[in-house]
Amino acid sequence: MSDTDADGEDEEAEAEPAVELGDGPDVAGEPVARVASRLTWPAKNSDVREQEGDAEIRTPDGPQTLDDVLADSEVPLFESRSDFVQAVEEVVGRGPVATE
């Protein structure tokens, strides 16, 4: 295969979305996993609130700031990403996310 063929295939792959998005209502906030991906572990609750506290995350009750959610958490140190996500879910719950 030549370099030209490979470039043509790359352009086609970039032109088509990997996942088709629907025309449904928008979802306010961002997934907690996205916020977690911007952090390093272990992380203190206070450090996470300082770095990402203004981020609005998606919850079953609508968007909430991470600062408000972590204020209700009694976990002082998140050892890992999964510990962080679990602590957030303990405060906000799990379930379908409200749409606009």
Q: Token pair 């700031």 is at which residue?
A: 65
Whether 5 maps to a domain, the answer reads no
Residue 2 lies in a domain: no
Contact in structure between 98 and 62 (CB atoms under 8 Å) = yes
Question: Would 14 be classed as within a structural domain?
Answer: no
At residue 95, the pLDDT reads 82
Domain assignment of residue 84, yes or no: yes
Q: Which two tokens stand for residue 69?
A: 């959610």
Q: Are 61 and 100 in contact (CB under 8 A)?
A: no
Average pLDDT in the chain: 83
Identify the residue with better confidence: 27 or 65.
Answer: 65
The verdict on residue 33 lying in a domain is: yes
pLDDT at 80: 96
Q: Is residue 3 part of a domain?
A: no
> Rounded to two decimals, what is the model's pTM?
0.71
Structural domains of the chain, count: 1
Which residues, listed in sequence order, are joined to residue 56 by a DSSP beta bridge?
Answer: 65
What is the rounded distance in angstroms from the CA atom of residue 50 to the CA atom of residue 44?
A: 10
| Domain with 60 in it | 28-100
* Residue 19 vs residue 76, higher pLDDT: 76
* Predicted local distance difference test score (pLDDT) of residue 26: 74
